[in-house]
Amino acid sequence: MKTASIPSLRVEPKLRHAVENALHDDETLSSFMEQALREQVKRRQLHDEFIARGLVSRDKAKRTDEYYDASEVLAELDSMLSSAENK
């Protein structure tokens, strides 16, 4: 598979210095940038999927007229958390 280039990125010297200081011993600036791009793409995909699930849930609630009170949901989550912590 052929590779493609990402356009060069102009940043303030202060940011470049901060990035260079954050690099691990076996890491290059290019590998750091590639990893950052991959993580941001994944984060945005997960965000889009989260929003899509929320919209589906909203539409289902409208269709079925079945809604849950936030305080009840939070109380159940607290109960689940307490149960898990006690195990």
Q: 10-23, pLDDT tens digit by residue?
A: 999 999 999 999 99
- Say what the pTM is: 0.73
Q: Could you read off the pLDDT of 25-80 as tens digits, one per residue? A: 999 999 999 999 999 999 999 999 999 999 999 999 999 999 999 999 999 999 99
Asked if 40 contacts 48 with a C-beta cutoff of 8 angstroms, the reply is no
Q: Are 32 and 23 in contact (CB under 8 A)?
A: yes
- Residue 33: count other Cβ atoms within 10 Å of its Cβ: 13
* Alpha carbon distance 38, 6 (integer Å): 12
**Predicted local confidence at residue 54, as pLDDT:** 97
Residue 33: partners with Cβ closer than 8 Å, 6 or more residues away: 6, 9
- Is 1's pLDDT higher than 90? no
pLDDT for the residue 41? 98
Local structure of 58: helix, strand or coil: helix
